[in-house]
Each structure stands twice: as structure tokens, then as C-alpha cells.
Amino acid sequence: MVQRAVHDAGRTAGLTKRVICHTRGHTFATYLLEMGTDIRTIQRSLGHKDVRISMNYAHIVDRGPLGLIGPLDR
């Protein structure tokens, strides 16, 4: 029932890719990583025992050298 609601919400939003409940974890992990959260914190947030699982969830976007944020940039 939840999966159906998620699928319908994706369709209503006009998303062309398939949306499943599992997508939420990937989206959340990627968002946290892009906001500068370290991978160990993401691991704990998602409840994974192995950090490699969390790394699979976090889709890293390559922004090149301009995507680097130094401590003085914050």
C-alpha cells in the first residue's frame, strides 16, 4: 500500500524514472553527503552496520575542484 502511494506521488510529480520506497534512502543519503555530512554519520542515520552499504546509497556528484568547500568558505 505504501509502495503504491510512493509510485503514484512520483507519477503526480511528473517524474519519468521509476520511484520506489527504496529511493527515499538513496535521496536522503545523497542529500546529506552534498550538505557536507560525513559518511559515518550517514551510516548511523540510515542504520547500516557496514559503511559500504551507506556508500552505495550515497550517489556522489562529481563537481570537480570547484565543488570543494574549505573551512574558511563556511
pLDDT digit string (tens) for 33-63? 888 888 899 899 888 899 888 888 776 666 6
Q: What pLDDT, on the 0 to 100 scale, is given for residue 3?
A: 84
> Residue 35: inside a domain, yes or no?
yes
> Residue 2: inside a domain, yes or no?
no
> Residue 56: inside a domain, yes or no?
yes
| 17 Cβ neighbours under 8 A, 6+ residues apart | 10
- Does this model's pTM top 0.75? no
% of the chain surpassing 70 pLDDT: 81
Mean pLDDT of 7-35: 84
Q: Which residue in this structure is represented by grid cell 568547500?
A: 69
What Cα–Cα distance (Å) separates residue 48 from each residue in 5, 9, 18, 26, 51? 25, 27, 24, 13, 7
The domain in which residue 31 lies consists of 24-60
> Residue 66: inside a domain, yes or no?
no
33, 58 in Cβ contact below 8 A?
Answer: yes
Number of domains in the chain: 1
